[in-house]
Structure 1
């Protein structure tokens, strides 16, 4: 028999959403540690670059975004849309996706190679994700989405 989903009060949901961080997330920390172990050095959250990439690797001209599937609407099993206040959420998610496209375009114009790593790939296929990311960083592809 399916479990009933617990409903949260607006106050409770607001507190939960405020607790969500945009930097130093678990997937980000895992990727950072793996790249460091692979001998790659990087800078964090460069505010002077469009989108403040999670990682900036100067030696290779690469920026890395580690995106949450929910917030950036990846479309995988971790992606959902809240049923309450759908107008707000639809606008928010659309704005996030448009901003991601513009940011990647601006960074490409600046000569940077852009990697987007999705939360689901870090959770489900971590070793393969890191291998592909390291290969991209040391290679010559313009963009990659893992």
Structure 2
């Protein structure tokens, strides 16, 4: 399998952590829209009632820095550029969304895996609260 074939195989929507978060928020009574492609970064969830966008980020692809974050040893120049561009794009996207008046939540894959109940609790509190942004 070539690198481009592997990259195409990686899902950007409907990942396992994203689906878990969506189901939990729905059970908590929060309604949302999925993948608003007309917004910067195509947020995973858009909650109009609270003016909130939610990104569920993979720790590897967005270089969170936790134990799930690593860097491939082969072709390091490619991967360093790729990860740097991802991180810069994430920052710019959050900034653009906040300028548009949205509150931005970033949920990391590791928090979903490590303490799911606490993650959902914190996210629901953020959505119903008044903080400008949160990383969980």
Structural RMSD (CA): 1.1
How far is 1:16 from its partner?
4.2
What is the match of residue 111 of structure 2? Answer: 121
- Structure (1 or 2) with the larger CA radius of gyration: 1
Out of 32, 48, 55, the residue aligned to residue 45 of structure 2 is 55
> How high is the TM-score relative to the length of structure 2?
0.97
What is the match of residue 123 of structure 2? Answer: 133
Q: Spell out the pairing of 1:23-62 with structure 2 (5 A cutoff).
A: 23-62=13-52
Distance, in Å, in 2 between the alignment partners of 1:92 and 1:16 is 14
1:88 aligns to 2:62 (yes or no): no
SS at match of 2:60: helix
How far is 1:145 from its partner?
0.1
Structure 1 runs (4+) greater than 6 angstroms displaced: none
Structure 2 stretches lacking a partner, 5+ long: none
How far is 1:20 from its partner?
1.4
How far is 1:14 from its partner?
5.4
Structure 1 stretches lacking a partner, 5+ long: 1-10
> Paired residues, what number?
136
How far is 1:19 from its partner?
2.0
